[in-house]
Amino acid sequence: MTDPRERPAAEPTGTGAPAVAGPAPLAPGPRPPAALGAVYRAQLSRAGVARIPLLFVAGFQSVGIMILMRGVVDGGTGEEARAVVAGSTVLVVAFVALNLLAQYFGRLRATGGLDHWATLPAPAASVVLGTAAAYASFTVPGALVTALIGCALYQLPMTGLWLLIAVVPLAGAALAGLGAALGLLAPRQELATLCGQLGMSAALLLGVLPASRMPEPIQWLRDLLPSTYGVEALAEVLGPGPDWGSVAANLAVCAAIGLPALVLAGWAYRRAAGR
């Protein structure tokens, strides 16, 4: 005979209600694409209030640099003119993806804002990618306007500007991953801001001048900056008879740098959020 004290968990109780065996299982979390879309829309809505000043500042400084450089660089399809226009265009991306994103994540970490994202069922990669994509979305109009003004100012053909479709997202991904990692790994908010400013300054100083005019040690530093490969690809199509092999190689390097940069940013987010 069985012990009357031993009852199955699902046996009805005296009240007529079945006994509960344990807590109900939680619903599965959202899939990464859905989580990415949700983070992107949330960040786009949050940053939408500042998009007009953001576009104005990012575009104004690049156009100002091109106007200043026009006094010492001749127009035409020479190497210098193409480097100035391409470098100033990619600088718009660097200002937002590298500088502002480093400041944003540095501020989130300093003020405890990461706790909000840590409570959501969103993977770290979705949070980083969604935030980076939202900020990068604001660079598209500024980069296009800068490129158009630069081509008109330096008498360059505009037929190759379609390459911005590839240059902006690839350079933006690499710089956004780097900017997010700097903001999340910096021990203080002020250091995150400083790192973002230094990174944007490097994109400015190393991007708007042709590599052939720089000393060899500076060229090595230039090769370490992800945005320079986007600059080289864009500068190539602004001249006559572009070398498409070189364009494809520079874009491939930009993409190859972007992937580990975003992985690094995701790891830095999990580390900072304690996940």
pLDDT tens over the chain, length 275 residues: 445 445 444 445 555 545 545 444 444 455 666 777 777 787 777 665 555 666 667 788 899 999 999 888 888 888 899 999 999 999 998 888 888 889 888 888 888 877 777 777 777 777 888 887 877 777 888 899 999 999 999 999 999 999 999 999 899 888 988 998 999 999 888 999 999 889 888 888 888 888 888 888 888 888 888 889 999 999 999 988 899 999 999 999 999 998 898 888 888 888 887 75
**How many residues are given for the chain?**
275
Scored b (16 or more CB within 10 A) or e, 113-146 reads ebeebbeeebbbbbbbbbbbbbbbbbbbebbbbb
Name the residue range of residue 178's domain.
50-273
Residue 4 lies in a domain: no
User: What's the pTM value of the predicted model, to 2 decimals?
Assistant: 0.81
* Spatial separation of the C-alpha atoms in residues 91 and 77, rounded to whole Å: 20
Look at residue 199 and tell me if it is in a domain: yes
12 inside domain: no
In a domain, 17, yes or no: no
> Is 217 within a domain?
yes
* Interior/surface letters 64-77, b for 16+ CB within 10 angstroms, e for the rest: ebbeebeeebeeee
Total Cβ atoms within 10 A of residue 150: 28
Going by the DSSP 8-state scheme, the letter that residue 161 receives in this structure is G
Backbone angles phi, psi at 144, to 5 degrees: -65, -45
Residue 164, SS3 per DSSP: helix
Number of CB atoms found within 10 A of residue 275's CB: 12
How is residue 97 annotated by DSSP? I
The 3-state DSSP class for residue 12 equals: strand
Cα-based angle 238, 241, 244 (whole degrees, multiple of 5)? 85
Residue 36 resides in a domain = no
Per the structure, the count of domains in the chain is 1
Residue 229 is assigned to a structural domain of this protein? yes
Give pLDDT, residue 50.
57
